[in-house]
């Protein structure tokens, strides 16, 4: 069915060892799905009728990563392979994990507990045995995300599965099958039980799809967006001036997200949230200070979803500065202050955000000003102009020595004052000139 060269040596080795010891073993889940889609799998998962204690004897390096659920990670020279014993699951009281698992000898039992048909296929590359009892291969051809068995039961078992359905729809550019989609609003109480960290992971993965908008819109349709990111849904139906915008705030945000670079998921999140405050700032067809209020709202959203402080700082900085209005008459000192405010390391991503914003407007809006601003920024970088206190040719020790003062806020204020002068005139950033300025302060 597949060329044997497609499979990593480690996966083949695990299946061969298990088979030689009278056990069944298959590749399962996402790797089989991706192979059928002619994509290179990122992970290779194995399922087997061998119990964890048996696998511990057969393989030298094993980590009990999910031993309560029959999962171990086998570590080999070419990578790590998550390997799980065939099992059937009982009740899911916590909305995420089964209260009890029962090991089984049947691969069909194991596939029956999985989430979607496209993830419930198994394949043995040694014997070329392909198992697809839920027609996952047909659903791949139909471009359909469909729950295994009863969708209501699947989503009641695990509240994260509904979010995963939306994420897979975005990742694969598939539709969610009707009954599967209808079951999601009926199980939102289970999704409420899911840890924010897990929702965070799914959203980041959704940002890596070609069009995250597919998944986000499914979340809105199914009631998940109101549960997870209600601030974003406020933009649905919030109209914008037709002279600049073809879409309401919600769809403009989604299309901005799509237009941002696929390889930068956190930048895409900034694009998704850059206008999140517009509905709350709207007065007729103006949105006063939506960039500033957007900073607070984005921070609340990202904290709630357990994003790191670094990610929050990055996104809020882009949102705060996304409305920059450059004109050719900006002085060089104004450009330097703009660079300092945004951070040189963030300038390229701010421009990418602006480009995504413009593309989502679907209106003819000139972008020549960005090219001119970039040229001026590059000139300043080449000239190594001071933009931060650390770039000054003097430091706090110099200040304290000349003015005979102790460490404290006053030292920082003086350094900031010196930087302001240097931003106006970069030629002042010479040690002698700066020391003279400090002496005058004495």
Q: Which of 221, 225, 237 is nearest to 272 (CA)?
A: 225
Question: What's the whole-number average pLDDT of the chain?
Answer: 93
Higher pLDDT: 251 or 383? It is 251
pLDDT tens-digit map of 110-158 = 999 999 999 999 999 999 999 999 999 999 999 999 999 999 999 999 9
Answer yes or no: do 123 and 168 share one domain.
Answer: no
Q: What is the pLDDT of residue 203?
A: 98
Query: Does residue 311 have a pLDDT over 70?
Result: yes
Q: What is the pLDDT of residue 364?
A: 60
Q: What is the pLDDT of residue 313?
A: 98
From 1-10, 126-135, 159-168, 212-221, the region with the lowest mean pLDDT: 1-10
Answer yes or no: do 37 and 68 share one domain.
Answer: yes
* pTM of the predicted structure, to 2 decimals: 0.88
The residue-averaged pLDDT of 185-192 equals 96
Query: Is residue 84 within 8 Å of 24, Cβ to Cβ?
Result: no
Q: What is the pLDDT of residue 94?
A: 60
Residue 150 resides in a domain: yes
Query: Does residue 296 have a pLDDT over 60?
Result: yes
Residue 361 resides in a domain: yes
Answer yes or no: do 132 and 197 share one domain.
Answer: no
The residue-averaged pLDDT of 169-174 equals 98
Q: What is the pLDDT of residue 99?
A: 65
Answer yes or no: do 38 and 131 share one domain.
Answer: yes
Answer yes or no: do 64 and 29 share one domain.
Answer: yes
Q: What is the pLDDT of residue 367?
A: 65
pLDDT tens-digit map of 145-157 = 999 999 999 999 9
Q: Final residue of a domain: which of 369, 385, 401?
A: 385
CB burial class (10 A; 0-12, 13-18, 19+) of residue 418? buried
Query: Is residue 69 within 8 Å of 84, Cβ to Cβ?
Result: yes
From 193-202, 358-367, 390-399, the region with the lowest mean pLDDT: 358-367
Q: Final residue of a domain: which of 167, 194, 228?
A: 228
- CATH assignment at residue 156: 1.10.110.30
Query: Does residue 285 have a pLDDT over 80?
Result: no
Residue 234 resides in a domain: no
Strand order, beta sheet including 62-66? 62-66, 71-76, 79-85, 45-48, 25-28, 122-124, 129-131
Q: What is the pLDDT of residue 97?
A: 64
pLDDT tens-digit map of 384-400 = 888 899 999 999 999 99
Counting Cα atoms < 13 Å in the Cβ hemisphere of 385 gives 25
Residue 310 resides in a domain: yes
Query: Does residue 415 have a pLDDT over 70?
Result: yes
331 contacts: CB under 8 Å, gap ≥ 6: none
Instruction: Assign residue 3 a region (left: φ > 0; alpha: ψ between -120 and 50; beta: otherwise).
Output: beta
Q: What is the rounded CA–CA span in Å between residue 70 and residue 85?
A: 5
Number of domains within the chain: 4
Q: What is the pLDDT of residue 161?
A: 97
pLDDT tens-digit map of 1-54 = 788 788 999 999 999 999 999 999 999 999 999 999 999 999 999 999 999 999
Q: What is the pLDDT of residue 176?
A: 98
Answer yes or no: do 14 and 131 share one domain.
Answer: yes
**What is the domain range of residue 205?**
143-228
Residue whose tokens read 């409305």: 323
Answer yes or no: do 265 and 380 share one domain.
Answer: yes
Answer yes or no: do 431 and 357 share one domain.
Answer: no
Residue 12 resides in a domain: yes
Answer yes or no: do 96 and 215 share one domain.
Answer: no
Backbone angles phi, psi at 72, to 5 degrees: -130, 160
- CATH assignment at residue 260: 1.10.3210
Answer yes or no: do 66 and 136 share one domain.
Answer: yes
Residue whose tokens read 């000239």: 383
> How many Å separate Cα 1 from the centre of its chain?
34
pLDDT tens-digit map of 332-355 = 999 999 999 999 999 999 999 999
Answer yes or no: do 41 and 68 share one domain.
Answer: yes
Answer yes or no: do 172 and 223 share one domain.
Answer: yes
Residue 67 resides in a domain: yes
Query: Does residue 167 have a pLDDT over 80?
Result: yes
Query: Does residue 98 have a pLDDT over 90?
Result: no
Residue 338 resides in a domain: yes
Query: Does residue 366 have a pLDDT over 60?
Result: no
Residue 233 resides in a domain: no
Q: Final residue of a domain: which of 208, 228, 248?
A: 228
């Amino acid at each position: 069915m597949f060329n044997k060269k497609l499979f990593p040596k480690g996966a083949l080795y695990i299946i061969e060892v298990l088979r030689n010891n009278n056990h069944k073993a298959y590749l399962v889940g996402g790797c089989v799905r991706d192979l059928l889609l002619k994509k290179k799998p990122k992970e290779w998962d194995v399922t087997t009728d061998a119990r964890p204690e048996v696998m511990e004897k057969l393989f030298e390096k094993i980590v009990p990563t999910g031993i309560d659920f029959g999962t171990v990670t086998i570590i080999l020279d070419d990578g790590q392979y998550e390997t799980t014993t065939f099992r059937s699951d009982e009740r899911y009281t916590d909305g995420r994990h089964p209260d009890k698992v029962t090991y089984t000898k049947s691969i069909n039992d194991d596939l029956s507990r999985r989430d979607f048909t496209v993830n419930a296929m198994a394949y043995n590359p040694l014997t070329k045995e392909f198992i697809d009892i839920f027609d996952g291969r047909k659903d791949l051809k139909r471009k359909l995300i469909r729950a295994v068995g009863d969708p209501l039961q699947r989503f009641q078992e695990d509240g994260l599965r509904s979010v995963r359905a939306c994420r897979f729809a975005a990742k694969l550019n598939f539709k969610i099958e009707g009954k599967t989609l209808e079951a999601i609003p009926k199980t939102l109480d289970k999704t409420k039980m899911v840890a924010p960290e897990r929702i965070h992971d799914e959203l980041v993965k959704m940002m890596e799809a070609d069009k995250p908008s597919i998944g986000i819109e499914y979340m809105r349709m199914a009631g998940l967006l109101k549960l997870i990111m209600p601030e974003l849904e406020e933009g649905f139906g919030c109209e914008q001036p037709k002279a600049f915008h073809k879409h309401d705030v919600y769809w403009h945000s989604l299309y901005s997200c799509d237009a941002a670079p696929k390889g930068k998921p956190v930048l895409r999140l900034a694009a998704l949230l850059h206008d999140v405050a517009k509905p709350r700032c709207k007065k007729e067809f103006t949105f006063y200070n939506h960039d500033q209020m957007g900073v607070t709202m984005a921070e609340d959203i990202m904290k709630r979803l357990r994003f790191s402080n670094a990610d929050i700082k990055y996104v809020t900085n882009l949102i705060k500065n996304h409305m920059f209005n450059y004109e050719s008459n900006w002085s060089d000192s104004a450009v330097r202050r703009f660079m300092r405010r945004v951070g040189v390391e963030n300038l390229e991503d701010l421009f990418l955000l602006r480009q995504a914003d413009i593309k989502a407007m679907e209106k003819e809006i000139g972008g020549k000003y960005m090219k001119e601003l970039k040229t001026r920024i590059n000139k300043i970088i080449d000239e190594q102009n001071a933009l931060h206190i650390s770039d000054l040719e003097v430091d706090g020790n110099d200040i304290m020595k000349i003015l005979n003062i102790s460490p404290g806020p006053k030292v920082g204020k003086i350094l900031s004052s010196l930087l302001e002068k240097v931003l106006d005139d970069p030629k002042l950033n010479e040690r002698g000139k700066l020391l003279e300025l400090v002496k005058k302060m004495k």
